[in-house]
A and B are shown apart, each in its own frame.
Chain A
């Protein structure tokens, strides 16, 4: 390409240019959760209200009364993300504002463990909220403690190398699918176009909508900060975190079909939290992924 034609070429933007997340926030270098927030707000636009329980984002956003987001935020108690969002939505409707999208934005601890009762309640009532769980696979904000989203084999400060976590990750999407809510989607920060498309789709649906977003955490995973996006991409490509949607708890759509899944080993080797794993343990993880993948394909074909 000659210099002149290059000068004229437009800068490619595959996402909406609108930026509702400002600089100056307090996330670690290479944080996946900030990318998730950035993409979600790009999809939802300014008419959005957030309810954030205790999680990394409660800190990232900045100390009161400052905030790095251009939308209103309600900081709520750890277990109440979904119920607070329900209340905010009801309040807005009473005040004559049916338009604003209310989003509960919680980490994996606040979704898989502490907030699951409120989430289940909201899903059962089919309250008109979007619930986003950004999953960094442990309680990162309080110092890397095990959560029920921590995968098999991982080191955390409460599951040290000698006693690494020996139970598989909870399948939160299946739990939500059992509630028969109108829309469930998984998304990864490595595929922002897919994420923004799903957010826009969810915005137009009424009822409880759930997002499970894969958000790498270099601090807690003991990985290099520049690898965050790469790790998320690898997790999608090796079938550990497939991208799919579920409508009305039944209609499964696979967004990214994989011809041959990459081996999980390369992904595990990039992270310090899996360094102690023996080849047998890695083979076990691979087998578990294959089983889950086969189950998902069965759902999609059904």
Chain B
């Protein structure tokens, strides 16, 4: 459902560049997960599959895999909206260690 990861297209000269933005969602080469200093962790045993975390993720970096919510840590910026909004309180924000 979410556009898949794209490789960064590198243009060697100005002539090669398209006239207009071609808008294929190719900004996905930018892995924004590096911005994160806290990370969400979902405790699936408590999850009621309400879809609220998926609905309110501004990235959107919550995927639905086999009908379960899964965070894509390549892009999650760690804003914490999912943890704040989850009605079952099953998402905790933990400190990121790199």
Interface residues of A (CB under 8 A from B): 1, 3, 6, 9-15, 17-27, 29-32, 34-35, 38, 61-62, 64-75, 192, 218, 224-230
Contacts and interface: CB of A to CB of B under 8 A. Distances in A.
Contact of B21 (A6, A32, A72, A225): A72
Given A67-B21, A225-B79, A23 B84 contact: no
Nearest to B8: A66
8 contacts: A10-B49, A12-B51, A23-B61, A25-B32, A66-B30, A67-B23, A73-B23, A218-B79
Interface in B1-54: 1-3, 8-9, 11, 17-18, 20-32, 35, 45, 48-51, 54
B50 A26 contact: no
Interface string B64-75: 100111001011
Interface of B: 1-3, 8-9, 11, 17-18, 20-32, 35, 45, 48-51, 54-56, 58-61, 64, 67-69, 72, 74-75, 77-81, 83-85
B22 to A, nearest CB: 7
A19 B2 contact: yes
Given A11-B54, A67-B25, A68-B25, A21 B60 contact: yes
Contacts of A35: 56, 58
Contact of B24 (A1, A21, A61, A70): A70
Given A23-B72, A30-B80, A71 B2 contact: no
B55 A192 contact: yes
A23 B22 contact: no
A230 B54 CA distance: 16
Contact of B2 (A1, A22, A29, A67): A22
How would you classify the secondary structure of chain A's contact residues: helix, strand, loop or mixed? loop
Given A30-B79, A62-B27, A230-B84, 11 more contacts: A11-B54, A17-B1, A22-B3, A22-B25, A23-B60, A23-B61, A35-B58, A65-B9, A68-B28, A75-B21, A225-B80
Contact of A23 (B28, B55, B68): B28
A25 B80 contact: no
Nearest to B69: A11
A68 B27 contact: yes
Contact of A29 (B24, B50, B77): B77
A229 B81 contact: yes
Nearest to A8: B67
A75 B74 CA distance: 28
A287 B15 CA distance: 60
Contact of B27 (A20, A24, A224, A229): A24
